[in-house]
Every structure is written in C-alpha cells, then in structure tokens.
Amino acid sequence: MEDEIVETPEEQLAKKHRKEKKDMQAKIQSMKNAIPKNDKKRRKQMTEEISKIEADLSQKHEEELRQLKSTNDTEDKKAAEEKERESRIAEAEVQNLQGVRHQEGLKLAQKLAQQQLQIKEISSDGHCMYRAIEDQLAQRSKPGLILGVKELRSRTAEYMRGHADDFLPFLTNPNTGDMYTADEFEKYCSDAEHTAAWGGQLELRALTQVLQLPMAVIQADSPTIKIGEEFDSEPIITLVYMRHAYGLGEHYNSVERLKDPANAEDS
C-alpha cells in the first residue's frame, strides 16, 4: 500500500481558490448567456455585478492567505517558544544534577556504603513507600511476609482504624488546624487503602506493628529514623528517604547489597 500524500495547508488553500475561481467563471458565463446582447441596460448592470463578484472573491482570497500566513507565523512562534522552553528545562536539569539532588545522592551513597548497601530504585508512582517495603520483604524472603502493595496498604489501613487513638493526634485539618474528625480519619484510612496516596511516617509506624519488624529510614542530612525498635528481630526493613529525588519531591527507595564494581562490570 502506497503512502497517502498529505497536502500542506498552503496546497489545500490554493486548490480551494482554484475551484472557487472556476465556479465563479462558470457563474459569470451563465449570467452573460442569460442576457440578450441588445439589452444594453441589463448588460451594463451585469458588467458592474461581475466586477463586484470578481473583486469580492479576490478580496476573500487575499484575506484567507493573510490568515494562513498569520496562523503559520503563530505556530512557528509557538514551536520556537516550546523549543526554548525544553532547552531551559534541560539546562535546569543539568544544573539540578550539580545541585541539591546530586548532593543528596552523594551523601546517601556514602552513608549506605558504610553498611555495604546501595540504593535500589523504586518507581515514583505514589506507591513508592509500599513498593520499597515490598522489595525489602522479597529480598529477605521471610516466610509469610511476602506481601504486595495492595495487601500492605490494606493491612496499614486496617491497623490504623483499629488503633485510631495512636494516630489521630498527628492528623489535623490543614484549613482549621483541628484534629481530624472520625469521618476525616476514615477518609484518610480509605485513601491509604484504596488510592495511590503517598505514605509517610504514620503509615510506617502502622506497618512495623503489622509486620512486627523494625524499620530504619536513612536520610541524607538527618540521622536515621528507627521505628519499631521493640521488635528485636531480623530481617530489618531498610528504606531510603529522598527529599529531592524527583520533580515531585519526596520519595522512598529500597536498598540492596553493595555490588562489587569489578563484578558489576563483568555481569
């Protein structure tokens, strides 16, 4: 099958104008044929009418050409502005790599290397905290604790509902500053269970109780947060909290054993 030939807007307009001129000429010829040659008065009126028809069509075509040129100029301008915008974004991204995000990554890598660990990237889709815990559980393969994101969210919400007094003091309405009502707390738990609502320290505290495992959250510029220290057991869940990971901001990653650079190159 041959590729379909796509006409440019200029070609389409020229084609339209040729048809309109051809239609006009046919109309003019029809007008001439309808008036006897010896009827000078009507033929004079006809001549004036023909001149007006021709002038109107010519003016119409000139206006359409101007509009097309104006549209093309606008589109060219938009394309140029978009290209400049993309260039600025790329430049800002390069600067950002040399800025806070890059510095955060270096500090975290240094902290993790002291424990023979490195970052394991987790997708930033709103489920990152749960996905990071899912990955940690899978790495350690503790029987009965290989849970997916959906189950982790469900158990988190269930635990928070059953222990509302432990969580309500930390939840306030951003508009009034008042502690959450029962309905607001239920919506918070429902969002945690059924949506991609971002998880934080409250959800982590709930999960330590659900899993009965201690957790450590490593940060670049703050001491490691330890949760569930009453559970003196292995494995310990280790997460990395990144404040400047992506354009969206805060993010959780998992960790894995530090790879030997020599072996990594061979693999």
One of 23, 56, 125, 221 is an active-site residue; which one? Answer: 125
- Cα(156)–Cα(153) distance, integer angstroms: 5
Going by the DSSP 8-state scheme, the letter that residue 179 receives in this structure is B
Query: In the chain, what is the straight-line distance between the N-terminal and C-terminal CA atoms, in Å?
Result: 45
Residue from 124, 146, 125 nearest 136 by CA: 146
**189 catalytically annotated:** no
How many CB atoms are located within 10 Å of the residue 183 CB? 8
> From residue 24, how far is each of 13, 59, 63, 197 by CA, in Å?
16, 14, 18, 65
Residue from 252, 245, 255, 248 nearest 103 by CA: 245
Single-letter amino acid code for the residue at 15: K
Torsion of CA 226, 229, 231, 232, to 10 degrees: 100
One of 127, 128, 135, 189 is an active-site residue; which one? Answer: 128
**Which helix (DSSP H) or strand (DSSP E) does residue 225 occupy?**
strand 225-227
**183 catalytically annotated:** no
**221 catalytically annotated:** no
In the block, residue with structure tokens 């990071």: 132
Residues 6+ apart with CB under 8 A from 100: 244
Which residue numbers are catalytic? 125, 128, 251
